[in-house]
Structure 1
């Protein structure tokens, strides 16, 4: 089982409505489909979503780094040579989603070769996750309507509310409107995407003290070291590190510095291999995790639920797995379905998904 080729295929699928948040907005899924081919004829697939405002990657940069740097380093390696593959990818600084997609496509190919699901290979703890839905910036009425629609249609009762606007009162009012409309039995937590200063974040959390928020994520900038530590020390709401903890070293620093008490794991940026390293770190340090969302399509979401369901530590909380619902279309032959607030990991070999060739031909942008 050797890697004989790696493809990076850019594609664009529009969203029905944009997702807006403090660091930007997403109107189209301008992602990259990564395919890893083996000498046995097996093809593993995964998805790389560029987020230039967070990691500096673009669709063009992902395609280029895979074609010009990563593929030449990895072609010819054994598919099971995970540590060699990891070492060669880590020679290059940055490019997290390109590396993650290659890693997950290799795991998909391994599962297909061995006739095992990725969830089984990673741990096999359960076969499903509860789903959390992200609510982006809009008027209070529109945010409430979005949450009510998702709750009533899909049975989702956990919501991550995007905050970080100025004035702070906009987000405090939105969270209050959501709590009043959805009632006490729905879980609400907030994500600032680094939009507030520590002082603004502290003021907002104080103003929302009666709303029973369960988590607060990246309310202020990742490099505001002292401010983040000060904010985490003065609140009883668990603080989730996301963009500030994208590799094992950063995870250790965030937790030991007291800048965070929980970690968001996103397979779109750390794949399966590094995500598992981070998960075991968090277990050892006594830190909870939440399965995050990189505004993934259905390919990326299938990867997230495959990983999250595989481990006890990552299956405890609802995972952020619903944003593909706002895409106008997707690439899978069998679309993912959320039912009763849960998403089930596919039981077939690998990640358990297949790409529709007609849809890929329709949405790819490289004119092949």
Structure 2
């Protein structure tokens, strides 16, 4: 079982409405399907979502690095030579989502080869996860209406609220409106995407002290070292490192340096192999983790679900798995489903999904 070929296929699927947050805006899922074929005729797939304002990757750069650098480096290697793959693609600096998609496609191919679900190969802790939904920038009434619709339709009772606008009062009003509209039984937590200063974030937290937030994420820039530590020391709830901690080394620095008390794991940037490393590190340090989302499509969400369900630590909190609900379509033969606030892991081999080739031909942008 050797890697015979690696493809990077760009595709574009519009969102039904823009997803807006402090560091950017997404109107179209200009993502890349990474597809691995083995010498035994097995195909593994994963999705790379470029986020140029966070990691510097674009759809074009992902296709180029996969086709020109990563594919020549891994073709011919045994399917299970994951450490060799990591070492070879690691010679190229950056490109986290391209590396992650290649890693997950290899895992998907291995699961299909041995006829087992990836989440079992990774640990198999549970067969479903509670789901959290992200609510992007809008007016308070519109954000409450969206959250109510998602709660009533899918049973979701956990919401990540995007904040980071200036002045802070606009976002404070949104959070208060959500609490008033959704009631006390719904979980609310904030994600600032590094939009505020530490002082602004502290002001917002004081103003929201009675709202009952469960945690906050990246309210201020990670490179404001002293100010961030000052903020985290005064934060009344767990402070989540996300964009500031994309690798295990970053997690170590953020946590031991006092710049975070919790970590977000995103398979879109660390794949399955490095996500396992990050999760194990956090477990050893006694740091809780949350399963995040990079505005993933259906394929990326299925991968995140498989990893999140594999470990106890990643299954304790509602996972951010619902961004695909805002897409006009997807590439799957069988769509994902959310029922009573949970997503069940697909029972088939690999990540349990199959790409609809007719849809891929319709949405791919490389001709």
Question: Into which bin does the TM-score normalised by the smaller protein fall?
Answer: over 0.9
Local SS of the residue matching 1:210: coil
Matches within 5 A, 1:41-56: 41-56=41-56
Matched residues in 1 for 2:84 and 2:69: separation? 15
Matched residues in 1 for 2:329 and 2:134: separation? 19
Matched residues in 2 for 1:223 and 1:36: separation? 37
Matched residues in 2 for 1:247 and 1:357: separation? 34
Query: Residue in 1 aligned with 2:309?
Result: 309
1:171-227 Cα deviation digits (max 9, x unpaired): 000000000000000000000000000000000000000000001000001211111
Local SS of the residue matching 1:350: coil
Query: Residue in 2 aligned with 1:82?
Result: 82
Deviation at 1:235, TM superposition (A): 1.4
Local SS of the residue matching 1:209: coil
Query: Residue in 1 aligned with 2:39?
Result: 39
Query: Residue in 1 aligned with 2:71?
Result: 71
1:246-294 Cα deviation digits (max 9, x unpaired): 0010000000001000000000000000000000000000000000000
Matched residues in 1 for 2:42 and 2:235: separation? 50
Matched residues in 2 for 1:315 and 1:195: separation? 28
Matches within 5 A, 1:1-368: 1-367=1-367
Deviation at 1:89, TM superposition (A): 1.3
1:4-29 Cα deviation digits (max 9, x unpaired): 10000000000000110000110000
Matched residues in 2 for 1:299 and 1:321: separation? 11
Matched residues in 1 for 2:359 and 2:88: separation? 33
Matched residues in 1 for 2:56 and 2:222: separation? 15
Moved over 3 A (4+): none
Local SS of the residue matching 2:65: helix
Q: Which runs of 5+ in 2 are unaligned?
A: none
1:84-103 Cα deviation digits (max 9, x unpaired): 11111111110000000000
Deviation at 1:228, TM superposition (A): 1.1
Local SS of the residue matching 2:314: coil
Matched residues in 1 for 2:97 and 2:3: separation? 19
Matched residues in 2 for 1:262 and 1:286: separation? 9
Count of equivalent residues: 367
Q: Which runs of 5+ in 1 are unaligned?
A: none
Matched residues in 2 for 1:245 and 1:254: separation? 7
Local SS of the residue matching 1:167: coil
1:303-323 Cα deviation digits (max 9, x unpaired): 000000010000000000001
Local SS of the residue matching 1:310: coil
Deviation at 1:236, TM superposition (A): 1.6
Local SS of the residue matching 2:181: helix
TM-score, structure 1 as length reference: 0.99
1:334-367 Cα deviation digits (max 9, x unpaired): 0000000001111100001000011000000000
Matched residues in 2 for 1:288 and 1:140: separation? 30
